[in-house]
């Protein structure tokens, strides 16, 4: 879904953002009739409150948008999304009350509030459109919003229409749009190409597993993004209960997020070499499904004892991470809906991430605050390494006991890579509607990474 600013320049309605302590000044700027209207409507500039001010003919002449206090706003984000959702159809422009980074965040929030997943039930409403305010980087904001919309669309699409082939189709379409190159290794060719664990996880499905490998850019530092592309996860032979399987169309949320981030990077023309690796599989049940206690040999040569076939994401990522390491990139970032433990630890709104480097952690954390994309650093806690060492193989894919599940999964992945590495264990789903984030698939961490790239890659 393309999210962009309105191109209509006629009949643009000015919108004035009003904080609570600026209410008196805002009211003084109205006509006597306007002040009377504001008083009659009980406008107090509370956060999210909207007042449309009519002219003599009843048409809206301007809008006052309540922005509350700094304390109110600190308890949430994308407040302009709430305001945009309350306005009638029309074209608006933020005329006063915000500047700089606050104005850009508000503009992004407005665009993201326009998102609708309309593949199966088309909406006829255009909603309140936003005309760009002079001084903002409208192209950058629209590119970021469209990348986020791509992520949401991919996650929201049910597995019946978003299997490994369809995920490949989406990656190919993105590559074509931006002039990137893409290679795909499919089915039994994964074995001869040296991706045994991707093949093993996906072989029981009627939809062939594959590895997507996209490259873009000729100069600059190399960034490799690796996204988990499990298009549906039954849990394999350790089958999930129905209550846990209901949202498994989102188990490719990592791949959706790196594709959205790739769109942002390529669309903005960043001076880097980008590589995107996505192991795309469906974890199904059939006669040749992999089994608990099987021992697999990875691309890296490390052996893995399978103690739960529902811990499959780290297996496919391991082969992809090994490949990512082979051309010595400057930085590798993986994104995956990897563990329920991450969701339990920090909830659905924070993106937990792992890195050994304090400078990388600081860059991401600072960027996350700047662009309202919250993250939380988690530890590669080395004393837990023994928890992923089963004794009869090099690694255990699902340590018993359930302790520190997100950390042990991250430690497992780190065994397969030597390049500078950051891992995100995201949820990828908005469980209840929030400003600019309808219930459903959502990108997590991508905008923080994008903002941090100049420091992460010394651009």
Digit-by-digit pLDDT tens for the chain (459 residues) are: 789 999 877 889 999 999 999 999 999 999 999 999 999 999 999 999 999 999 989 999 999 999 999 999 999 999 999 999 999 999 999 999 999 999 999 999 999 999 999 999 987 777 899 999 998 999 999 999 999 999 999 999 999 999 999 999 999 999 999 999 999 999 999 999 999 999 999 999 999 999 999 999 999 999 999 999 999 999 999 999 999 999 999 999 999 999 999 999 999 999 999 999 999 999 999 999 999 999 999 999 999 999 999 999 999 999 999 999 999 999 999 999 999 999 999 999 999 999 999 999 999 999 999 999 999 999 999 999 999 999 899 999 999 888 999 999 999 999 999 999 999 999 999 999 999 999 999 999 999 999 999 999 999
What's the pLDDT at 435? 96
CA distance linking residue 260 with residue 335, whole number of Å:
12
Instruction: Give residue limits of the domains in the chain.
Output: 13-130, 143-456
- The pLDDT score that the predictor gives to residue 9 is 76
Query: Are 282 and 159 contacting, i.e. CB atoms less than 8 angstroms apart?
Result: yes
What value, to the nearest 5°, has the Cα angle with vertex 84 and ends 81 and 89? 150
Please identify which of the residues 73, 140, 172, 240 carries the catalytic annotation.
240
CB distance 53 to 63 below 8 Å: yes
Stated as kind and residue range, the H or E segment containing 26 is helix 23-28
Catalytic residue among 152, 314, 415, 447: 314
pLDDT of residue 323: 98
CA 295/CA 63 separation, integer angstroms: 64
pTM of the shown model: 0.97
d(CA 63, CA 47): 14
- Concatenating the DSSP letter of every residue in 279-332 gives EEEEE--STT---TT-EEE-TTS-EEE-S-TT--HHHHHHHHHHHHHTT--SEE
What is the CATH superfamily name and number for domain 143-456? Zn peptidases (3.40.630.10)
Rounded CA separation 386/321 (Å): 21
The helix/strand/coil state of 336 is strand
How many Å apart are CA 239 and CA 237, to the nearest integer? 5
Q: What is the pLDDT of residue 409?
A: 98
> 13-130 and 143-456: same fold?
no
| pLDDT computed for residue 401 by the predictor | 85
* pLDDT value for 125: 75
Q: Quick check: 224 and 332 in contact, CB under 8 A?
A: yes
pLDDT, position 402: 83
Rounded Cα gap, residues 361 and 418, in angstroms: 18
In order of 37, 218, 266, 379, 422, the CA distances from 270 in angstroms are 49, 11, 6, 30, 20
Active site residue 249: no
Q: Is 240 a catalytic residue?
A: yes
Yes or no: domain 13-130 corresponds to CATH 3.10.520.10: no
pLDDT for res 197: 98
């Amino acid at each position: 879904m393309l999210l962009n600013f309105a191109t209509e320049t006629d009949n643009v309605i000015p919108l004035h953002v009003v904080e609570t302590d600026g209410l008196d000044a805002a009211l003084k700027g109205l006509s006597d009739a306007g002040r009377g209207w504001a008083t009659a409507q009980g406008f107090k500039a509370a956060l999210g409150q909207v007042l449309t001010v009519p002219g003599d003919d009843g048409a809206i002449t301007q809008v006052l948008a309540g922005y509350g206090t700094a304390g109110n706003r600190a308890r949430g984000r994308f407040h302009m999304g709430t305001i945009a959702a309350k306005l009638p159809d029309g074209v608006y422009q933020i005329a006063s009350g915000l500047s700089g980074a606050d104005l850009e965040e508000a503009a992004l929030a407005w665009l993201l509030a326009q998102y609708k997943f309309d593949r199966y039930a088309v909406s006829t409403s255009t909603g309140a459109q936003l005309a760009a305010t002079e001084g903002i980087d409208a192209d950058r904001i629209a590119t970021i919003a469209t990348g986020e919309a791509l992520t949401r669309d991919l996650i929201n699409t049910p597995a019946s229409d978003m299997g490994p082939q369809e995920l490949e189709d989406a990656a190919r379409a993105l590559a074509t749009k931006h002039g990137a190159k893409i290679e795909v290794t499919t089915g039994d060719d994964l074995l001869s190409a040296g991706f045994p664990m991707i093949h093993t996880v996906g072989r029981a499905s009627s939809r062939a597993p594959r590895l997507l490998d996209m490259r873009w850019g000729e100069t600059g530092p190399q960034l490799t993004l690796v996204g988990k592309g499990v298009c549906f996860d039954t849990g394999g032979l350790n089958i999930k209960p129905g209550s846990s399987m209901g949202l498994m169309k989102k188990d490719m949320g990592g791949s959706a997020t790196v594709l959205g981030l790739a769109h942002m990077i390529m669309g903005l023309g960043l001076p880097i070499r980008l590589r995107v690796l996505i192991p795309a599989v469906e974890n199904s049940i059939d006669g040749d499904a992999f089994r608990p206690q099987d021992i697999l040999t990875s691309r890296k040569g490390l052996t893995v004892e399978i103690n739960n076939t529902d811990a499959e994401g780290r297996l496919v990522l391991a082969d992809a991470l090994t490949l990512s390491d082979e051309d010595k990139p400057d930085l590798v970032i993986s994104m995956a809906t990897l563990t329920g433990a991450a969701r339990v630890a920090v909830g659905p709104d924070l993106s937990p991430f792992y890195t050994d480097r304090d400078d990388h952690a600081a860059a991401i954390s600072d960027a996350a605050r700047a662009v309202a994309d919250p993250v939380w650093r988690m530890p590669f806690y080395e004393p837990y390494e023994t928890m992923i060492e089963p004794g009869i193989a090099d690694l255990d894919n699902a340590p018993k006991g359930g302790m520190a599940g997100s950390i042990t999964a991250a430690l497992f992945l780190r065994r397969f890579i030597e390049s500078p590495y950051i891992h995100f264990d995201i949820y990828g789903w908005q469980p209840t509607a929030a400003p600019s984030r309808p219930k459903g698939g959502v990108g997590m961490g991508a905008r923080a990474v994008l903002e941090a790239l100049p420091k992460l890659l010394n651009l």
